[in-house]
Structure 1
Amino acid sequence: MSELVDRRYGPAPLPRSRGPVSAAVLDALRRPPHDLPDNLAARLDPADPLTDEDLQLTLFLCYETHYRGWRGVADDWEWQPSLLALRSSAERVFEAAVRRLVGPLPAVRPAGVPAALADVVAADDGPSLAAHLQRRATLAQFREFVTHRSIYHLREADPHSWALPRLGGPAKAALVEIQMDEYGNGRLDRMHAELFRTTMARLGLDTGYAAHLDVVPAVTLATNNLMSLFGLHRRLRGALLGHLAAYEMTSSLPNRRYGNGLRRLGLDEVATRFYDEHVEADAVHEQIAAHDLCGGLVRVEPELAPDVVFGAAAALAVDRLFAAHLLDSWSAARTSLRTPANPTRTLTAPTAPTTTPPPLPAVA
């Protein structure tokens, strides 16, 4: 495999550590599989798990062994018992924090799941990151936003695909219909991850898989880790589908705003294609996700109705934290990244954008 293909599609190089536990995991992953120290899990007791850099990176390190792996790391680490035990301890802390953030939810009957999902979406009162990006964001801020989102969008749809072998019947058919669009119906150039890669290139950003992992903060990792938590546990399959439904039901208007924001900044239709595609596709996916996917699931497994609604509420709650972090950072005239992203290393040779991207602001 060439270096170009390797960097575009993974596996990614190991990132820098963010604390004692992630440092110990990184040190272990650089060597052949072996047992981790017994005391690592006891050190995962942060005051705020959702914004703790060490906890969130530790989870991301563990989860990525189930996706594309890490460059130079033995594949056998994926099922190494002591790493799985550490991941399980970190997950308990993380899941408990998410459930506290969401709080109690109204009881829901299986037949009422689509309406309950609509209520969760309607009640979402988070800060409007999309409105800021449409109307006021600078090009540097938009590039930061894309940098954050690259951690998910360069593997878009993969976390939700964990549900496929866990489903049957109407819910499985509905998920396949949604995922087919996400994966471009088998065409590489139509895959949403590839469309996003093109947007990154037009903005002058490194388009390598997980290339910006070191610069995104814990709250960005938390949005990704939440999907992996739901996807890698069969007991949370209802939450995973609710998470996907929330994303599909809140996608069309924000993506229209993102595209309009890029047009306001002078970017062309090649740069906006990713967002424009989602405006149309997700308007259809919204109905499929609520009624055919989640509704289909609870008709077969009615006991999962509360999990579906929890998954949707969790997706929106963690995304509110993410949006607040970006907007608070920008209102204080500081970067939302941990360190400035590298704007120069691209893996393609796109036509230069109509507006030359300025360098990202330095960390205060």
Structure 2
Amino acid sequence: MPEPADRRYGPAPLPRARGPVSAALVAALRRPPHDPPVGLAARFAPDDGGPGPLIDEDLQLTLFLCYELHYRGWAGVAEHWEWQPGLLALRARAERVFEAALRRLAGPSRAVPPAGVPRALAELVAADDGPALAVTVQHRANLEQFREFVVHRSVYHLREADPHSWGLPRLGGPAKAALVEIQMDEYGNGRLDRMHAELFRRTMDRLGLDTGYAAHLDRVPAVTLAANNLISLFGLHRRLRGALLGHLAAFEMTSSLPNRRYGNGLRRLGLDEAATRFYDEHVEADAVHEQVAAHDLCGGLARAEPALVPDLIFGAAAALAVDGLFAGHVLDAWARGESSLRPVTRPAPVTALA
């Protein structure tokens, strides 16, 4: 018998289904690769507006199940599923609905000349009036609420930088050099103990949370999955490489101050330096990354490929809009005196695909 994989680094066990499509997909993934019926995804029909698909539990889990095959896979799932044509067709149907919803939420982008991209990104960030989650976490969140917040973020931070690294082989010149510079910091310049994912794992450990890769997947709601799925969507499609870089730029340009607040929130709650180091590290690193991302990364791509400027702006706008949905979900739940996480329930019945 082979040794089981280290739970800290994946692959994770298949999660519980959240609807008919994800239930059928989970059942299919437990079997050898075969053609799942593409028509099953027909229920993912575009709506007339609003965030519907972004908070659809079945849709977002279906996409996450498909995307994770391109990262660390799923425990017990045959690796040939990654490029199974029928599965890719099902994923494409779900992606069309998801991308359409993202574009509606982000709204139309104004015309921006290539030289004006850094300024346009700065203006977009400055105009963002999303819910002030970081302020609440810093000043008012109790320990259990902070643990909830960390559980949400663990889906991204335990594989931090990986989705954006899909951009590396799709770029050249100044934009590629800028992305390498940012990613080197994210990966701790090759030192395991300095990798941001490892620093976050220490924060989780200090908070008494399971540090296994995707260990909390069943607890996070659709909007948390959507915030992760949109990076995978951008990263796995070469045509969306501009959106991927715009997303990263918005991420870096809105990170430094919130991370200072999160670190201060942990200190208020009596946590030690090992718990706060992840956030403290980002205060300094992201202040530098902000300039690199706006001017060298996105500015460099805009100069090299002017046709991608609208996608750069779209990616940044989508990042801010989805993060606003996420923050609103968390704050609304806390205002009601409820958890922002999904309750632990019995596994949904699973029906195998024919």
Query: Shorter-normalised TM-score: what interval?
Result: over 0.9
**1:155 maps to which residue?**
159
Does residue 337 (structure 1) correspond to residue 344 (structure 2)? The answer is: no
Q: 2:332 aligns with which of 328, 332, 344?
A: 328
**2:26 maps to which residue?**
26
Q: How does 1:123-272 map to 2 (within 5 A)?
A: 123-272=127-276
For residues 303 and 46 of structure 1, the distance between their equivalents in structure 2, rounded to whole angstroms, comes to 27
**1:103 maps to which residue?**
107
Residues 118-144 of structure 1 show CA distances to partners (whole Å, capped at 9, x for unaligned) of: 011001000100000000001000000
Q: 1:298 aligns with which of 273, 296, 302?
A: 302
**1:9 maps to which residue?**
9
- Distance change >3 Å, CA 340–CA 260, structure 1 → 2: farther
Does the 8 Å contact 1:21/1:54 carry over to 2?
yes
**2:83 maps to which residue?**
79
Residues 251-277 of structure 1 show CA distances to partners (whole Å, capped at 9, x for unaligned) of: 000000000000000001110000000
Amino acid in structure 1 at the alignment position of 2:40: L
What is the CA-CA distance between 1:42 and the residue it aligns to? Answer: 1.1
Does the 8 Å contact 2:38/2:89 carry over to 1?
no
Does the 8 Å contact 2:168/2:176 carry over to 1?
yes
Does the 8 Å contact 2:135/2:261 carry over to 1?
yes
Amino acid in structure 1 at the alignment position of 2:224: T
Q: Give the stretch that moved more between structures: 45-54 or 320-329.
A: 45-54
What is the CA-CA distance between 1:39 and the residue it aligns to? Answer: 2.1
For residues 182 and 37 of structure 1, the distance between their equivalents in structure 2, rounded to whole angstroms, comes to 39
For residues 234 and 189 of structure 1, the distance between their equivalents in structure 2, rounded to whole angstroms, comes to 32
**2:319 maps to which residue?**
315
Aligned residues: 340
Amino acid in structure 1 at the alignment position of 2:77: V
Percent identical among aligned pairs is 80
For residues 191 and 331 of structure 1, the distance between their equivalents in structure 2, rounded to whole angstroms, comes to 35
Report runs of 4+ in structure 1 exceeding 4 Å deviation.
none
Residues 66-97 of structure 1 show CA distances to partners (whole Å, capped at 9, x for unaligned) of: 00000000010000001000100000000000
**1:41 maps to which residue?**
41
Residues 302-342 of structure 1 show CA distances to partners (whole Å, capped at 9, x for unaligned) of: 1111110110000000000000000000000000000269x
TM normalised by structure 2 equals: 0.95
Amino acid in structure 2 at the alignment position of 1:180: M
Does the 8 Å contact 1:329/1:336 carry over to 2?
yes
Does the 8 Å contact 1:21/1:44 carry over to 2?
no
For residues 16 and 149 of structure 2, the distance between their equivalents in structure 1, rounded to whole angstroms, comes to 21
For residues 322 and 38 of structure 1, the distance between their equivalents in structure 2, rounded to whole angstroms, comes to 30
For residues 96 and 38 of structure 1, the distance between their equivalents in structure 2, rounded to whole angstroms, comes to 19
**1:347 maps to which residue?**
none
Q: Gaps (5+ residues) in structure 1?
A: 342-364
What is the CA-CA distance between 1:104 and the residue it aligns to? Answer: 1.2
Does residue 63 (structure 1) correspond to residue 87 (structure 2)? The answer is: no
What is the CA-CA distance between 1:45 and the residue it aligns to? Answer: 2.3
Q: 1:282 aligns with which of 280, 286, 289?
A: 286
For residues 45 and 338 of structure 1, the distance between their equivalents in structure 2, rounded to whole angstroms, comes to 24
For residues 340 and 136 of structure 1, the distance between their equivalents in structure 2, rounded to whole angstroms, comes to 26
Amino acid in structure 2 at the alignment position of 1:160: H
Does the 8 Å contact 2:182/2:289 carry over to 1?
yes
Does the 8 Å contact 1:44/1:55 carry over to 2?
yes
For residues 42 and 122 of structure 1, the distance between their equivalents in structure 2, rounded to whole angstroms, comes to 39
**1:354 maps to which residue?**
none
Q: What SS does the aligned partner of 2:226 have?
A: helix
Q: What SS does the aligned partner of 1:9 have?
A: coil
For residues 205 and 36 of structure 1, the distance between their equivalents in structure 2, rounded to whole angstroms, comes to 36
TM normalised by structure 1 equals: 0.92
For residues 79 and 11 of structure 1, the distance between their equivalents in structure 2, rounded to whole angstroms, comes to 17
- Distance change >3 Å, CA 2–CA 187, structure 1 → 2: farther
For residues 92 and 67 of structure 2, the distance between their equivalents in structure 1, rounded to whole angstroms, comes to 11
CA RMSD of aligned residues (A): 1.1
Residues 128-174 of structure 1 show CA distances to partners (whole Å, capped at 9, x for unaligned) of: 00000000001000000000000000000000000000000110000
**1:344 maps to which residue?**
none
